[in-house]
Structure 1
Amino acid sequence: MTLPAASQLRDWLVNRRAELRLALRVTIAGAVAFILAHAFSLTQGYWAVITAVIVMQASVGGSLKAAIDRFLGTFAGALYGAAVAAFIPHGSVVQLGGAVVAALAPLAFLAAVRTSFRVAPITALIVLLGTSVQTLGPLASAIERVFEITLGNVVGVTVALFVLPARAHTLLTESAAQVVRLNAQLMAALMNALVAESGGPVGVAPLHASIRASLKQVETAADEASRERKTHLTDAPDPEPLVRTLYRVRHDFVMIGRAASGPLPGALRDRLQPFILTIRDTACALLTELGDALQMRAPPPTSDAIDASLADYAKEMDALRTEHLIEDLPSDAIGRLYALQFAFEQFRQDLDDLTARTHEMALRDRRDGETGEAS
């Protein structure tokens, strides 16, 4: 293999580390479940293998959720399916059809109300229809099905915990870092639109779409991180404050975007342009550094530069009011100016919260490091 090809392969492997770790865990979980299913001589041991593969998620918290949901759905479906098979005749095709309806109707409603039970109707059908071609009775079939799924759950969660474990806390900070960096790009686009000679913000719609998608990833990772905390698998900070802060910053940018829907009036644009460009540069720099700090779980940067730029902008706005240069503007332009200043003030407060959340993440990692050194 030539050196350039080897370098490209190495870079590809580095960029796909998370995917490769997940693939390895899935493979190990499936193989271990297969071995144990044969060791227990399960008649349909492939369900244990399938369950172990299904349970394996990107993080330990995700695997726990998948295992709990799988077990609850299987237990409910197996119990009810066995009851239907035992008490409702199904010797003929018509009777079997009636038993299928009786098994599906309540469990389908349960699955619609609680998504944790979405496999319950499937399990009930497997128990009901399986007993018509197996020598096992309804109760024995239900017990074996629950045991198979339990075995797969145990294998999946165990592998998730001990084979290259991926903590949801790490996925959370990585997704949050992505949101913060995208906010930096959005700030640049919006501030450029304010001082442009004509037109509106450029490239904002794709950025909003990317931010929404990243926020969904943050919510998923936060839910999984909360589950890890509840099961005492980690002492990471509560993820909810970080999620709330990211959404408040998101709202700040919505307000800024409304004010930056078009360029400022010509005379005011000339006066405010240096201040707006300074806010753009300092805010983008701080957001980018906060994103890096979140991903690396490092101490956050100081916010002195953005504080100074926003204070200078507020002073210039006071000067414009003192000189009565705002009063003669159209009402729409006046509204946008005051909305922008209010949005900047809210943004500054939420930056303090985001910095505090970043500091919490860094403190947790330092505590873990000190504990590891002491041990």
Structure 2
Amino acid sequence: MIGVLSSASLLKWLSAKRSELTLAIRITVAAGLAFALVKLVGLSQSSWAVITSVIVMQTSLGGSVKAAMDRMAGTLVGAVWGALVSIAISHHSNLETGLAVLVAVAPTALCAALRPSFRVAPITALIVLIPSGSTLTPYAFALERVAEIVVGIVVGVSVAMLVLPARAHGVLAAAAAKVTDLNADLLVALMAGLIEGRGRPDVAALQASIRAGLRQVDAAVDEAARERKAHLSNVADVEPLARTLYRVRHDLVIIARVCVRASPESVAPALREPLLGLRDATVALLHAIAEALRRRYVAPDLAGFEASLAAYVTAMDRLRAEGVFRTLGSDEMGRIYTLRFGFEQLGKDLGDLAERAGEMAQE
């Protein structure tokens, strides 16, 4: 029985970590191929090619292309400048070597500060300037290092394209699904403060997770755009999906402002069931959209959400007709109508999000 449970747990873990395992396999294959290719072509060192192939390997092909371009740009700038400094400034004494180091690092460090794609330039310049145990001339040493970097880049990008390839489109769908699920959890935590008057200890952690997830979405959108520009993908523009996720987040911010404390006692009993129904329908819709994004099928319609929102509005209208609202202060009245507005806006944006999920399913 323990063995069965362990096997089931292992399979579940492997399924949940599929993208991470795939990336690990690609990195391993790239490192092995880069090492073999360097030895095959007869370059003196294998470390640069192997390290480059590992650095280039990213979650998606678009990310790998960007990493490859950045690595190549930084290597070329650093290698050329390091070789020039090595020839121009002799460094037989410690003072001369120190001066050469400063001259080599200063401009390449400025390049790295101005453009992150050049961040390896200072390191490359130093390695070319002070080659450990090498008998090659500075130009020859720089040329060989560039050749090794090129080998690592070619291997890395080729493995990204051919070995269990992952397009940015799929990475984006997974990241968007995660954010959508987190939004459902956030809504439950927020509504607990309004319906039950409980504290909201989980809200800060959920908000932080959502912000991190949105950063992943933004990165995936950039990578998808890069794949399209490089003619590595023909998917449609995915930026509308990111914009919709940000609108949903804004809607939840509006709802959060209302849920800082419980509903007024005079209306809480009448609104409790409609609010619970609206919460449950919204959470179910968010999870359904997330699953649609994850599995690439058309998201469900908003019928359940719309029915629960209509029930909440009906309950509000009944209380207003009975004159209950006249007993409330302007602040409490504002909270009630702000919540209604927040859910109405959330419904519109969830409809757009469901459409975006449908577009992702068609790609």
Above 0.5 in TM-score? yes
Q: 1:86 is matched with which residue? A: 87
Deviation at 1:154, TM superposition (A): 0.3
Q: 1:228 is matched with which residue? A: 227
Deviation at 1:328, TM superposition (A): 3.3
Q: 2:135 is matched with which residue? A: 135
SS of equivalent to 2:261? coil
Aligned-partner Cα distance in 2 for 1:161–1:3:
37
How many residues of Structure 1 are paired with residues of Structure 2 in the alignment?
362
Q: 1:173 to 1:129 in 2, by over 3 A?
A: same
SS of equivalent to 1:248? helix
Q: 1:97 is matched with which residue? A: 98
Deviation at 1:138, TM superposition (A): 2.0
Aligned-partner Cα distance in 2 for 1:276–1:19:
39
Paired AA for residue 338 in structure 1: Y
Q: 1:283 is matched with which residue? A: 282
Q: 2:336 is matched with which residue? A: 337
Q: Determine if contact 1:37/1:46 at 8 Å carries over to the other structure.
A: no
Aligned-partner Cα distance in 2 for 1:200–1:339:
21
Q: 1:347 is matched with which residue? A: 346
Aligned-partner Cα distance in 1 for 2:180–2:298:
15
Q: 1:77 is matched with which residue? A: 78
Q: 1:372 is matched with which residue? A: none
Q: 1:22 is matched with which residue? A: 23
Deviation at 1:224, TM superposition (A): 1.9
Q: 1:276 to 1:73 in 2, by over 3 A?
A: same
Paired AA for residue 31 in structure 2: G
- State which drifts further: 88-97 or 277-286: 88-97
Aligned-partner Cα distance in 2 for 1:323–1:133:
91
Aligned-partner Cα distance in 2 for 1:56–1:346:
40
Paired AA for residue 176 in structure 1: A
Deviation at 1:331, TM superposition (A): 3.1
- State which drifts further: 114-123 or 352-361: 352-361
Q: Determine if contact 2:192/2:198 at 8 Å carries over to the other structure.
A: no
Gaps of 5+ in 1: 365-375
Q: 1:173 is matched with which residue? A: 173
Deviation at 1:320, TM superposition (A): 3.7
Q: Determine if contact 1:193/1:202 at 8 Å carries over to the other structure.
A: no
Aligned-partner Cα distance in 1 for 2:361–2:113:
41
SS of equivalent to 1:266? coil
Aligned-partner Cα distance in 2 for 1:6–1:273:
44
Paired AA for residue 44 in structure 1: Q
Deviation at 1:38, TM superposition (A): 1.1
Q: Determine if contact 1:69/1:116 at 8 Å carries over to the other structure.
A: yes
Identity between Structure 1 and Structure 2 (%): 51
Q: 1:211 is matched with which residue? A: 210
Q: 1:61 is matched with which residue? A: 62
Write the deviation string for residues 167-219 of structure 1: whole angstroms up to 9, x where unpaired. 221121111111111111222222232222x3444532222222222222222
Aligned-partner Cα distance in 1 for 2:5–2:254:
48
Q: 2:186 is matched with which residue? A: 186
Q: 1:114 is matched with which residue? A: 115
- Is residue 124 from structure 1 mapped to residue 118 from structure 2 by the alignment? no
Q: Determine if contact 1:201/1:262 at 8 Å carries over to the other structure.
A: no
- Is residue 49 from structure 1 mapped to residue 50 from structure 2 by the alignment? yes
Deviation at 1:5, TM superposition (A): 4.3
Gaps of 5+ in 2: none
Paired AA for residue 22 in structure 2: R
Paired AA for residue 48 in structure 2: W
Instruction: Give the alignment's Cα RMSD to 1 decimal.
Output: 2.0
Q: 1:291 to 1:15 in 2, by over 3 A?
A: closer
Q: 1:199 to 1:112 in 2, by over 3 A?
A: same
- State which drifts further: 202-211 or 95-104: 202-211
Deviation at 1:106, TM superposition (A): 1.3
Alignment of 1:191-202 (within 5 A): 191-196=191-196, 198-201=197-200
Paired AA for residue 345 in structure 2: Q
Paired AA for residue 217 in structure 1: Q
Write the deviation string for residues 319-345 of structure 1: whole angstroms up to 9, x where unpaired. 444444324323331222222122122
Q: 1:369 is matched with which residue? A: none
- TM-score normalised by the chain length of structure 2: 0.93
Q: 1:182 to 1:158 in 2, by over 3 A?
A: same
Write the deviation string for residues 264-286 of structure 1: whole angstroms up to 9, x where unpaired. 10111122222211211211111
Q: 1:39 to 1:202 in 2, by over 3 A?
A: closer
Q: 1:162 is matched with which residue? A: 162
Aligned-partner Cα distance in 2 for 1:298–1:72:
40
Aligned-partner Cα distance in 1 for 2:3–2:296:
37
Aligned-partner Cα distance in 1 for 2:202–2:3:
40
Deviation at 1:7, TM superposition (A): 3.9
Aligned-partner Cα distance in 1 for 2:18–2:340:
44
Deviation at 1:2, TM superposition (A): 4.8
Q: 1:306 is matched with which residue? A: 305
Deviation at 1:355, TM superposition (A): 1.2
Aligned-partner Cα distance in 1 for 2:15–2:268:
47
- State which drifts further: 205-214 or 236-245: 205-214
Aligned-partner Cα distance in 2 for 1:273–1:258:
18
Q: Determine if contact 1:200/1:263 at 8 Å carries over to the other structure.
A: no
Deviation at 1:317, TM superposition (A): 3.0
Aligned-partner Cα distance in 2 for 1:7–1:277:
35
- Is residue 271 from structure 1 mapped to residue 281 from structure 2 by the alignment? no
Aligned-partner Cα distance in 1 for 2:176–2:273:
30
SS of equivalent to 1:267? coil
Aligned-partner Cα distance in 1 for 2:3–2:328:
67
